[in-house]
Chains A and B, each alone.
Chain A
């Protein structure tokens, strides 16, 4: 890559497996400026005590192989190299990893569910998960995060040529949880990847879903739904790096916020490198502000280094519930509170209804109702 084809943004240039290669963040760095570092409990500066516990239970599809492996397993860390200090800390500190493999051409007949349960938030826990779909395999993987934890982890999705992976990651932590997670998908030729991040519970949750393409024809769709209540910091940082021709990406994240100190951050970075001709990308973030006292930071960045694209766009909109929507429903006799619920449900529901696992979709619906009852 010549100098003139390098992206201006150096935000995603750095990657290393060594914690020491990353400075301790101060909060002034672009990638940390929205995150309240004090609430990270030392995950970012090495002061976190590492005897916390997050237990992983797996319910696997019959076609999928699930293994618990040690740090030295050669399959770990091949698709993803940590991109920030907390991610490197998680890589350096985990003791066991979960590896899910779906063999070549296998079509999983049921979702593979990983239940991660935190038992104690007072000390830090670290994790690593690698999901490998061999060529032409198809599978759905569900990650459910519950309980109390101070948890940093890396999740790798290796989607082989012609394979299709759908991932649902539910962040439904207890109120005292802190979770910093990197979810990286690497797509082979003509691979398809769909992810749903649903972030509802936790004191501070920072998820960084990233996508890279190893060959042309890859197709990534990233959906996200979040609901921030008073005092919660929910942050999603997306990066789709188009480095090869003729790949497609779609991002649609939507959130609702209510009560004092609810803070949502959405960063949507898309890079279309000079060699990525024929790229088709669109990213969208919308936020619905339900009360006073909340804060939204929504930052889409689209960097295009070739003119030969199929489509490239982004949009971001944050606003209050629309008075005209409420008036219309109320003018048909529907009471205010019910009208408000219908509008919020509708806004988030367009993404929730795309969750393909019935049981998870219903759980998410119920969880949104519970948020609206608060």
Chain B
């Protein structure tokens, strides 16, 4: 059973010539198989930093704390090792990679994560089904990765990767931002399909409660000032919907 454990995580980024700036200030979080966690918080609270630090982006320096996946030390792994160990980050702003086709990229990623190349015919079939589920035009397979994709197309393509790579724990960084309601439903269905096995965990980072109508969280955490300042169930999301982040923003600032 998959368990992602984050313990007292402190993360800094380079800040001009002067030195570093601490963004995360002691994050504790445990995501187990079958659970969906929502992290909500105001802009600049460090939500995305948490996602990128867990995935291993070189810009973020972990200064202390621990991250483990099923007891394995994630922080000791390279970016690609983390992905092969079963971590997935759906990015808020997926980059365009000219000349690398979607199809080539997906097959390379599946080969890396599964440890063997999927047979070409099975790969085509699997890809076709997954694309249909997300209402992605099959012609996308031949296009350059993310190049010229609309915001909504990029997000659907992230969820396509999620469904094909089948990680143990998925971190979704504001996958809902910039989506119209139809695209939001399609993307949410994809996330729900991924979570349906009960063997995977989802950590959904969002600024808005809107996506939580389609992806039901078991736990809601409020993020402010670089740490979790409140935990609760789905009712906490309703409270945020009505009252906003104001009181938590102050709590974060006071830390």
Residues of chain A whose beta carbon lies under 8 Å from any beta carbon of chain B: 322-325, 327-336, 338-339, 342-343, 345-350
Known: A331-B89, A338-B108. A343 touches B100 (CB 8 A): yes
Q: In whole angstroms, what is the CA distance A322 to B58 when docked? A: 12
B99 near A325 (CB under 8 angstroms)? no
A342 touches B98 (CB 8 A): no
Whether A330 and B78, one on each chain, are in contact in the complex, defined by CB atoms closer than 8 angstroms, is: yes
Given A323-B58, A339-B80, A346-B144, A332 and B97 contact (CB-CB distance below 8 Å):
no
How many angstroms between the C-alpha atoms of A342 and B98 in the bound complex? 10
Chain A residues near B104 (CB, 8 Å)?
A: 342
Q: Which among A322, A332, A333, A348 has the greatest number of chain B C-beta atoms within 10 A?
A: A333
Q: Which residues of A contact B108 (CB under 8 A)?
A: 329, 332, 334, 338, 342
A-B CB contact pairs (8 Å), 29 listed: A323-B58, A324-B95, A325-B95, A325-B97, A327-B79, A328-B95, A329-B97, A329-B108, A330-B78, A330-B79, A330-B83, A331-B55, A331-B80, A331-B88, A332-B109, A333-B112, A333-B165, A334-B112, A335-B112, A342-B100, A343-B97, A346-B98, A346-B99, A346-B100, A347-B98, A347-B99, A348-B99, A349-B99, A350-B99
Measured CB to CB, the closest approach of chain A to B22, in angstroms, equals: 22
B145: chain A residues within 8 A (beta carbon): 328
Task: Tell me how far the C-beta of A79 lies from the nearest C-beta in chain B, rounded to whole angstroms.
Answer: 35
0 or 1 for each of B71-105: is its CB under 8 Å from A? (1 = yes): 00000001110111000110100110111100011
Query: When chains A and B are docked, how far (Å) is the Cα of A343 from the Cα of B147?
Result: 13
The proximity string for B residues 156-198 relative to A, scoring 1 for CB distances below 8 Å and 0 otherwise, is 0000010001000000000000000000000000000000000
B57 within 8 A of A: yes
Q: How far is the CA of A325 from the CA of B98 in the complex (A)?
A: 10
Q: How far is the CA of A330 from the CA of B80 in the complex (A)?
A: 4
List the B side residues contacting A338 at CB < 8 Å. Answer: 108, 112
Any A CB within 8 A of the CB of B224: no
Once bound together, how far apart are the Cα atoms of A289 and B52, in whole Å? 26
Asked if B98 contacts A332 (CB within 8 A), the reply is no
B94 to A350, Cβ gap below 8 A? no
Considering only residues 191-231 of chain B, those with a C-beta below 8 Å from chain A are none
Please determine whether B95 and A333 come into contact, CB atoms closer than 8 angstroms. Answer: no
Contact with A along B138-165 (1 / 0, CB 8 A): 0000001100000000000000010001
In the complex, are the beta carbons of A332 and B99 less than 8 A apart? Answer: no
CB-CB < 8 A to B57: which residues of A? 327
Shortest Cβ distance from residue B133 to the other chain A in the assembled complex, whole angstroms: 19
Q: Which residue of A lies closest to B115 (CB)?
A: A333
Q: Is the CB of A331 within 8 A of B97?
A: no
Q: Is B131 an interface residue (CB 8 A)?
A: no
Instruction: Tell me if A346 and B97 are in contact (CB < 8 A).
Output: yes
Decide if A332 touches B58 in the complex (CB within 8 Å): no
A348 CA / B57 CA spacing, docked (Å): 26
Contacts A333-B109, A333-B112, A342-B105 hold; do A328 and B97 have CB atoms under 8 A apart? yes
Q: Does B113 contact A (CB under 8 A)?
A: yes
Query: How far in angstroms is the closest Cβ of chain A from B11?
Result: 16
Least CB distance from B59 to A in Å reads 8
Interface of chain A, main secondary structure: helix
Tell me, in angstroms, the Cα distance from A329 to B100 when the chains sit together.
10
> Which residue of the partner chain B has the closest CB to A328?
B95
Q: How far is the CA of A332 from the CA of B55 in the complex (A)?
A: 10
Tell me, rounded to whole Å, the shortest Cβ–Cβ distance linking B70 to chain A.
17
The 5 A-B pairs of least Cβ separation, nearest first, read A346-B99, A333-B112, A332-B109, A333-B83, A330-B79
Contact B100 A332 (CB under 8 A): no
CB of A331 within 8 A of CB of B99, answer: no
Partner of A345, one of B91, B99, B112: B99
- 11 more A-B contacts (CB under 8 A) besides A324-B95, A349-B99? A325-B95, A327-B79, A328-B95, A330-B80, A332-B108, A332-B113, A333-B84, A342-B97, A346-B97, A346-B99, A350-B99
Contact B113 A333 (CB under 8 A): yes
CB of B83 within 8 A of CB of A332, answer: yes
Q: State whether A335 and B80 are in contact (beta carbons under 8 Å apart), knowing that A327-B57, A327-B58, A342-B104 are contacts in the complex.
A: yes
B97: chain A residues at CB < 8 Å are 325, 328-329, 342-343, 346
**B contact residues around A343 at 8 Å (CB):** 97, 100
Nearest-neighbour CB distance to chain B for A316, whole angstroms, equals: 16
B99 and chain A: residue at smallest CB distance: A346
Instruction: Report the Cα distance A177→B254, complex, angstroms.
Output: 70
Question: How far, in whole Å, are A327 and B53 apart by their CA atoms in the complex?
Answer: 12
Q: Contact between B58 and A331 (Cβ–Cβ < 8 Å)?
A: no
Quick one: closest B residue to A286, CB to CB?
A: B98
B95/A331 in contact, CB under 8 A: no
Q: Which chain B residues border A345 with CB–CB below 8 Å? A: 99-100
- Chain B contacts of A348 at CB under 8 A? 99
**Contacting residues, chain A, for B113 (C-beta < 8 A):** 332-333
- Whether A332 contacts B165 by the Cβ 8 Å rule is yes
CB distance from B137 to the nearest CB of A (A): 21
A344 to B89, CA, bound (A): 24
B95 adjacent to A322 (CB under 8 Å):
yes
B83 near A331 with CB under 8 A, answer yes
Does the CB pair B78–A332 fall under 8 Å? no
Chain B residues whose CB sits within 8 angstroms of the CB of A327 once the complex forms: 57-58, 79
Q: Which of B9-49 contact A (CB under 8 A)?
A: none
Check A333–B80 contact: CB distance below 8 A.
yes
A190 to B145: give the CA distance in the assembly, Å. Answer: 36
Find chain A residues with CB under 8 A from B99 CB.
345-350
| B91 adjacent to A328 (CB under 8 Å) | yes
- Cβ–Cβ < 8 Å partners of A324 in chain B: 95
The CA-CA distance from A193 to B84 in the complex, in Å, is 48
Shortest Cβ distance from residue B205 to the other chain A in the assembled complex, whole angstroms: 15
